[in-house]
Amino acid sequence: MENRTARLTILIDPQKKKIFEEICASKDLTSSQVVRRLVREYIIDNAGDRELPAWLKPSGKVAD
């Protein structure tokens, strides 16, 4: 299971943030859920030879 105790702070253009949050809301998702999904997909796609924890392996849908 994921441990959500680390914080990631990013700086983005305010207009992009507004559009991003509007799109997230239209899909009934929080921006944090979407960012976690993007990070997870990026790790899976770019892990190379790294051993990933079972909960991170692309073996089906993973809860946000």
The closest alpha carbon to 46, from 34, 33, 58, 61, belongs to: 58
Q: Is the pTM of this model over 0.85?
A: no
The residue extents of the domains of the chain are 14-46
Distance of alpha carbon 54 from alpha carbon 34, whole angstroms = 21
pLDDT digits (tens, 9 = 90+) for 16-45: 999 999 999 999 999 999 999 999 999 999
Inter-CA distances, 23 with 10, 26, 29, 61, Å: 18, 5, 9, 21
The pair of three-digit structure tokens given for residue 38, joined into one six-digit string = 């993007």
Band of pLDDT at residue 55, cut at 50, 70 and 90: confident
The pair of three-digit structure tokens given for residue 7, joined into one six-digit string = 């914080």
pLDDT digits (tens, 9 = 90+) for 43-53: 999 999 999 88
**Residues written for the chain:** 64
